Structure 1
Amino acid sequence: MSIEEKRRVGKRGQVTIPKKIRDKEGIEGGDKVVVKDEEGLIIIEKKELTEELAEGYRKMAERDRKISEEMLTASEEALE
């Protein structure tokens, strides 16, 4: 099912995604989207949850690495 609605671009370059499309694609306020230009065709895609999860896992891994280093240092100091 294709949905098409005309929208006006605001002075600051903002465009409202039509409610029918937001509902169909599950886009809610605060969600992240990717805007790209593919040979003159402007595409707005909902940012995949997997991207956000991957970023979260990267941050957790970095935090865990730092904690491990701190614990190793503390263990070495305790043994001295």
Structure 2
Amino acid sequence: MPTSETRRVGERGQVTLPKELREAFGLEGGDEVRIREEEGKIVIDKAVTRERLAEGYRQRAERDHALAEELAGVSQEANSSLGDAPETDSE
């Protein structure tokens, strides 16, 4: 992927993103992008849609659930190997 490419701004302020960049960032026609100024530069990035955000939360919940199940299994394994923890006198 080229590090730099010159494009002309059209009369209505439009710029076509290079195909290589669209493909690399998963951008398709109709997708929303966020455009902002950052340290004197114009930055364009893929907007976070409700669908993408919801998918991210769903994936995280699935990972958390799988981890909780794994830890429960390990905890049961440790209890059966080690037995109950001895009681301590807290006085």
Same fold at TM > 0.5 = yes
**Unaligned stretches of 5+ in structure 2?**
55-91
For this pair of structures, how many residues does the alignment match?
54
- Of structures 1 and 2, the one with the larger relative CO (CA 8 A, separation 6+) is 1
Closer/same/farther in 2, CA of residues 55 and 21 from structure 1, 3 Å limit: closer
Q: TM-score, normalised by structure 1?
A: 0.58
Structure 1 CA distance, aligned partners of 2:38 and 2:14?
Answer: 19
Q: What residue in structure 2 maps to residue 18 of structure 1?
A: 18
Structure 1 residue 2 displacement after superposition: 5.9
Write 1 or 2 for the structure with the bigger share of helix: 1
Structure 2 CA distance, aligned partners of 1:2 and 1:54?
Answer: 28
Root-mean-square deviation (CA, aligned residues, Å) is: 2.3
Contact 1:3 1:21 in 2 (8 A): no
Structure 2 CA distance, aligned partners of 1:48 and 1:2?
Answer: 25
Q: What residue in structure 2 maps to residue 8 of structure 1?
A: 8
Structure 1 residue 3 displacement after superposition: 3.0
Percentage of identical aligned residues: 48
Q: Once superposed, which parts of structure 1, at least 4 consecutive aligned residues long, lie more than 3 Å away? A: 53-56
**Unaligned stretches of 5+ in structure 1?**
57-80
Closer/same/farther in 2, CA of residues 13 and 53 from structure 1, 3 Å limit: same
Closer/same/farther in 2, CA of residues 3 and 54 from structure 1, 3 Å limit: closer
Q: Which AA in structure 2 matches 1:53?
A: E
